[in-house]
A and B are shown apart, each in its own frame.
Chain A
Amino acid sequence: MRAERKQSKMLVAMALFMTMMMLAGCGNTDNKANAEKEQTTTEVFVDVESMLGGAEAEPSVPQEVFEGDVAPEFSAPLVNGSTFTLSENSGKVILLNFWATWCGPCVGEMPAFQKLYEEYDEEIVILAVNCMEESETVDQFVKDNGYTFPVAYDVEGMVSMAYPSSGIPYTLVIGTDGVVKNIYVGAADADTQYQVYKAAIDAALAE
């Protein structure tokens, strides 16, 4: 009995130790500067509270975007060095995609974006926003694959936050009026996706 108590005390101690270790490491991923460490830790606790409290969640927490909603404004740096701002492209049909190098289906459908980019040229805007990977990773990926359509960094996840989704690839077609026309979660192969997006883009252009 005593041995068992000792054992469970030890486990509790270990559990506490590991929790502390994990929290110390939390958020302090390579994406974030060490200077932000303390602040990040605080944020973590706020997150946990709002999660448990539910109702205490901040009112500014972005909501999921639905078809028919006005596309939320954002701005992001591009691989080519310029900056993309959504509102500066109003009046154009926009294909907005969220992706990551570790996401197989995302990488698989990318040739469709390249083909659409070459085909429609200035007529529409294509933007593939990377999800929180380092800029070097994104650069290397774009270079390896020779893609020329605009790709944005989102190291801090600010754009992803404005467009919450349970998974990627997550692709939206935004109309000339700035309203989201179609939303796609997941992707088949590039050829299929090309047909799907082309149809959506043509419909949005015809409006």
Chain B
Amino acid sequence: MRRKLIQIICAILYNCNFTGFADGTIYQGDLKGVCVPGLNCYSCPGAIGSCPLGSLQTALVSSKYKFPYYVLGMLLLFGVLLGRVVCGYLCPFGLIQELLYKIPSKKLKKNRVTKILSYVKYIVLVVFVVVIPLTLAVPGFCKYICPAGTLEGGVPLVSMDERLQALLGGLFSWKMLVLILVIGTAIFIFRGFCRFICPLGAFYGLFHKVSLVGMKVDESKCNHCNACVAHCKMDVKRVGDAECIQCGECKGVCNRCAISFGKK
């Protein structure tokens, strides 16, 4: 429950330009030069900071003229300090999916297919976040995939700005379709976007061995019963691996009390 509270506070903090929601405008003050840790669209009318993933792609588009030291530095800092703790605690789009999963329905259990699908996000990271911005000069993930951008930026801005409505075409339809698919499946697949698609989670996952804080298992207490991995709704092979969002739900099922959160 503490985690939910942190997630909610975080979502509000990222998006506290409340007047933006009323008039459909984007806050463009100095704070917008700062990257937040989680996936939160720059173009959300409430956003007071920038999405690190969006900033990275945009910076890569013009990296010929200027190397994106700041964005890469922030991403590395978040990764080294927190890793996927960001996913579990500081990502509004993760929160949205978790809330949708609370809607009563039949739930899809993780299986071999979801484990394989969990590698797709690394391909998305390389192709849409790095290669497409560098070669085609467009922010590939933001433009063609990101459902957080459609939900937080696209829908509110387009619904309030007639000039933007005049620009709508096939791309917007496609992105609405992606959003509807992600939102719809989130009801019965736990954090499907995070597990299979999100390149930001993929990036933070790369730090699972080195990040400063996270879940840790006391090997002297562990009896290798695997109850933690069986209970986890993510596609983890071990507690604290690249798929682990450090949420700590496994702590309660460990009858040896071997799992804790803290400095690794």
Residues of A within 8 A of B (CB): 3-4, 6-8, 10-11, 14-15, 18, 21-23, 25-27, 29, 40, 43-44, 47-48, 51-52, 54, 64, 100-104, 107, 133-134, 137, 140-141, 164, 166-167, 183, 185-186
Contact = CB atoms under 8 A, between A and B. Distances in A.
Interface stretch (B61-69, B105-113, B192-200): B61-69
Interface stretch (B18-26, B181-189, B222-230): B18-26
B32 to A, nearest CB: 9
Given A51-B19, A52-B16, A166-B161, A102 B30 contact: no
10 contacts: A7-B2, A7-B261, A18-B78, A27-B33, A29-B33, A40-B30, A47-B29, A48-B31, A48-B48, A102-B58
Ranked nearest first, the 9 interchain pairs of A and B with the lowest CB-CB distance are A102-B62, A27-B30, A101-B62, A47-B29, A137-B65, A7-B261, A8-B2, A104-B138, A22-B34
A141 B213 contact: no
B58 to A, nearest CB: 5
B123 interface: no
B177 interface: no
B94 to A, nearest CB: 15
Main SS class of interface, A: helix
A3 B29 CA distance: 39
Given A51-B48, A102-B61, A104-B138, A11 B89 contact: yes
B74 to A, nearest CB: 8
B6 interface: yes
B245 interface: no
Contacts of B82: 14
A186 B163 CA distance: 9
Given A51-B19, A51-B27, A134 B66 contact: yes
A6 B248 CA distance: 13
B31 A44 contact: yes
Nearest to A55: B19
Given A18-B78, A47-B30, A137-B65, 13 more contacts: A7-B261, A8-B6, A14-B82, A22-B49, A47-B29, A51-B16, A64-B25, A133-B62, A140-B65, A166-B25, A166-B26, A166-B43, A167-B43
Interface string B28-50: 11110111010000010000110
B249 to A, nearest CB: 12
Contact of B70 (A3, A29, A44, A103): A29
Contacts of A3: 251, 260-261
Q: Which of A3, A51, A54 is packed against the most chain B CB atoms within 10 Å?
A: A51
A100 to B, nearest CB: 7
A18 B163 contact: no
Nearest to A188: B167
Contacts of A43: 30
Contacts of A40: 30
Nearest to B55: A102
Contact of A6 (B29, B31, B262): B262
A101 B65 contact: yes
Contacts of B2: 4, 7-8
B81 interface: yes
A137 B66 CA distance: 7
